[in-house]
Amino acid sequence: MRTLAIATAALASSATAAFAAPASVSVTIGPELQEKAARTLGVREVNDLANDLRTTVEKQLARTAAYDGARIELELTDAQPNRPTFKQLGDTPGLSYESFGLGGARIEGSAIAPDGHVTPLSYKYYESDIRWARRGGTWADAQWTFDRFAHKLGRGDAVASR
């Protein structure tokens, strides 16, 4: 009888989890970053970066019950590449992909719960040690920022700026 009660409770909790809707995630690009993209970084690269942020957060939130049913609205407000982007390489003769520097990103936004409660979200990370920049790709530090932000969000943290 005890086994039946435990099995019923487990089945009920998994059924509840199955009916919970995962958080919906939308990402926009901030006006300053849009201007920076058009001027130096490349619009396609920044759009791909925003898409990467959305998919990273969606995947992490799908693994956990954190923010189930919520609407996550994010704005990518800044991004700094570790290596030259395709547009930068095309615009600057003599610039090499072997060049590297400090990168990172800044994310602002809000989590809107099903009951309407709004939780502000903010996260940024910019590498400060050039020794770590040599091994990564064009957006290594920005992607690291997305991973850390998504991980904290997946734990249910209301992420405050770092």
Predicted local distance difference test score (pLDDT) of residue 16: 46
Instruction: Please write down the long-range contacts of 59-63, taking CB distance under 8 Å and 24 or more positions apart.
Output: 59/150, 60/150, 60/151, 60/153, 60/154, 61/22, 61/23, 61/25, 61/150, 61/153, 61/154, 62/22, 63/154
* pLDDT greater than 90 at residue 73: yes
Question: For the whole model, what pTM was predicted?
Answer: 0.82
Predicted local distance difference test score (pLDDT) of residue 156: 81
**What are residue 116's phi and psi, to 5 degrees?**
100, -5
Task: With cut-offs at 50, 70 and 90, classify the pLDDT of residue 3.
Answer: low
* pLDDT greater than 70 at residue 13: no
The phi-psi region of residue 109 (left if phi > 0; otherwise alpha if psi is between -120 and 50; otherwise beta) is: left
* Burial bucket for residue 134 (CB in 10 Å: 0-12, 13-18, 19+): exposed
Q: What is the pLDDT of residues 104-153, one digit of tens each?
A: 999 999 999 999 999 999 999 999 888 777 778 899 999 999 999 999 99
Q: What is the pLDDT of residues 152-162, one digit of tens each?
A: 998 887 665 44
Predicted local distance difference test score (pLDDT) of residue 93: 87
Predicted local distance difference test score (pLDDT) of residue 94: 85
Mean pLDDT for the stretch of residues 17-21: 57
Q: What is the pLDDT of residues 27-47, one digit of tens each?
A: 999 999 999 999 999 999 999
